[in-house]
Structure 1
């Protein structure tokens, strides 16, 4: 049985990826900061490894001992990635790093942008995303069997111990407080999206079949934030009623990152590389998932 060392197993993406690997017959050893999570992870078959992202020695030891490594804990921590790359140097072990499609985002403030879907890392990312892009490029350029997966707006019930995603729950909580759906500016900005189960399947496929230095966006649909706000309004019993908020109000509520690159931007990408690898996503139903009050 092959062993995969993972960061982020208590998170939404990491927990779902770990569950998919376990189902496929892998042993998963997961870095876990809080001991209170040990029993829940052990119950589903994950071997907890005590430590945090600050524990370089633990990460290096576990990476060197495993057959493969997957980082889902942080797209923006260069120290974790550097530690893993150093630990795997000279080996033929696979490493998958998780990025995020805000690297392809603009600063649209809710306005529509006619953007050609990105198929690879932007050549000239916005300053706010330059550091994340630098990590992605470093992984792809390193001597080894390494890949980067770049998820879009993720939805669906997580199959790990964390069930909910990030962006849609942020909007749902705000809508519940306001009594109607919310979007920024015109709400015409668009995000590519992907179901968590399809995303987890992509990780397994990349682990088993991807060539070295490969980069994959994960998407199977695209929607405007206003469309999502309407669906949230219906799911909460508000009859589809929505309202716009300014970017300043959004920053006050969600912070600079959440407002500009989480909910106010256009992030439009293409998963053509993943399809060429053999990825066949089956879900394309974000709006119906929201309206049915499913977990997302």
Structure 2
């Protein structure tokens, strides 16, 4: 009986700190790969920051290499042996992306195959300057490439996206861009249980942390801006849907210029999150009023450091659904996730 050909998969961002989205997505993706029906044909390598986690990753069949996105030679080396690279670390790290592409180009030249690169971006690329004061009518579809291409290079994540698309155009790699929206929910994966994955998102926890710090739930402007949302479990299945489609070959699904895949299953008014959090914090005696108060300009800079919290970002994951992605968590799951997020943050503050 012949041994099946193994697919070499290299994942960045499998671990990360509580202040980073890294690890939250990447760890969930690695866990999904480990439970994939074809997992026995995968050889998974993960770049991790902590030497003490190497043995734990090895215990579940993942080869762990210590390093980070700044170790450009390591990125190039690991990519040069990979059939598939899943970049789940920093969406804005242009140098890391270029280092990985050097490795993938070497892979192509040595094997005459075309490896796969799945890049993590985000619907933050769509943001405007609403400052919480209005909802936009502009809704982007991942099928409407012309409109996406109208986005200026100065938008968040856009510079790296353009590099990813250019690499595909050169022909030595097939690239796919996944753009999650507001990811929510505390991850509950085997890697979380093992103690090697960050289980927490960033956007909503930062809003909670800010509200706790100022002892009052806060809102940006009038809280009228809109964002899509997606549960962390549905995010992981999106990566697997794109991975499976890409593994079918060049005709499996769109790549390169057209290879955009939004992650959303509904949208919310951002101010409603603030309103629910303010009420919860008040009931928990952590806020002075059940109604959120407006963040000052100084607080906006202190807690968020940018415009994204007050922006609009509206997206429809039409291409993602066409390839079979079927998210199951609706916006009701978002509302239900808020109290557990507060409790988790309070627990961490007390330990």
Q: CA deviation at 1:127?
A: 6.0
Residues 164 and 295 of structure 1 are in contact (CA less than 8 Å); yes or no, is this contact kept in structure 2?
Answer: no
Q: What is the RMSD of the two structures over their aligned residues, measured on CA atoms? A: 2.2
> Does residue 1:125 correspond to 2:125, yes or no?
no
> Does residue 1:156 correspond to 2:185, yes or no?
yes
Distance 1:77 1:64 in 2: 19
Q: CA deviation at 1:33?
A: 2.4
1:193 is matched with which residue?
A: 229
Residues 12 and 89 of structure 2 are in contact (CA less than 8 Å); yes or no, is this contact kept in structure 1?
Answer: yes
**3-state SS, counterpart of residue 197 of structure 1:** helix
- Where does the alignment leave 5 or more consecutive residues of structure 1 unmatched? none
2:18 is matched with which residue?
A: none
Distance 1:188 1:272 in 2: 25
TM-score, with normalisation over the residues of structure 1?
A: 0.90
Q: CA deviation at 1:123?
A: 3.2
Deviates more, 1:200-209 or 1:151-160: 151-160
**After the TM superposition, which parts of structure 1 deviate over 6 Å for at least 4 consecutive aligned residues?**
none
1:289 is matched with which residue?
A: 337
Q: CA deviation at 1:128?
A: 4.2
2:294 is matched with which residue?
A: 244
TM-score, with normalisation over the residues of structure 2?
A: 0.77
> Does residue 1:267 correspond to 2:313, yes or no?
yes
Within 5 Å, give how 1:35-46 maps onto structure 2: 35-46=51-62
Q: CA deviation at 1:240?
A: 4.2
Aligned length, in residue pairs: 291
Within 5 Å, give how 1:1-296 maps onto structure 2: 1-10=6-15, 11-24=23-36, 25=39, 26-89=42-105, 90=108, 91-120=113-142, 122-125=148-151, 128-129=154-155, 132-141=157-166, 142=168, 143=171, 144-158=173-187, 159=189, 160=191, 161-210=197-246, 211=253, 212-213=255-256, 214-236=259-281, 237=283, 240-256=290-306, 260-261=307-308, 263-284=309-330, 285-291=333-339, 293=341
Q: CA deviation at 1:292?
A: 5.2
The structure with more radius of gyration: 2
Residues 153 and 159 of structure 2 are in contact (CA less than 8 Å); yes or no, is this contact kept in structure 1?
Answer: no
Q: CA deviation at 1:135?
A: 1.7
